[in-house]
Amino acid sequence: MANLDWSQCPAVESVPGKVSGAWVLKGTRMPVSAIFENLAAGANIDDLMEWFDGLDREQVKAVIEFAAQSLDKEPAYAA
């Protein structure tokens, strides 16, 4: 996921000094990476909503959809 241009995802933000500038869900301190780490560990969106107070289900879905859609794009290979 490190190669994704998260600046193109309207559900996230990176603010210097907020969670060390990591990409987080807008208006939260929830790092995008934590969403994928929890999903990889077997969690689902309902689990995330229960475990992390203040999350917006639509933001979580938007982050997942953004990552999934990026897989449909042609890879940019270095020349």
Question: Which pair of structure tokens corresponds to residue 66?
Answer: 């953004």
The structural domains of the chain, with segments of one domain joined by +, span: 6-70
The residue among 5, 12, 49 whose CA lies nearest residue 32 is: 12
Q: Helix, strand, coil proportions of the chain in percent (round to 5)?
A: 45, 5, 50
37 band by pLDDT with thresholds 50, 70 and 90: very high
Q: What CATH architecture is 6-70? A: Orthogonal Bundle (1.10)
Output 13 or 74, whichever has higher pLDDT. Answer: 13
Task: Tell me the pTM.
Answer: 0.81
* Average pLDDT value over all residues in the chain: 90
Q: Tell me what the mean pLDDT of segment 9-17 comes to.
A: 95
Q: Which of 9-18, 54-63, 67-76 has the lowest mean pLDDT?
A: 67-76
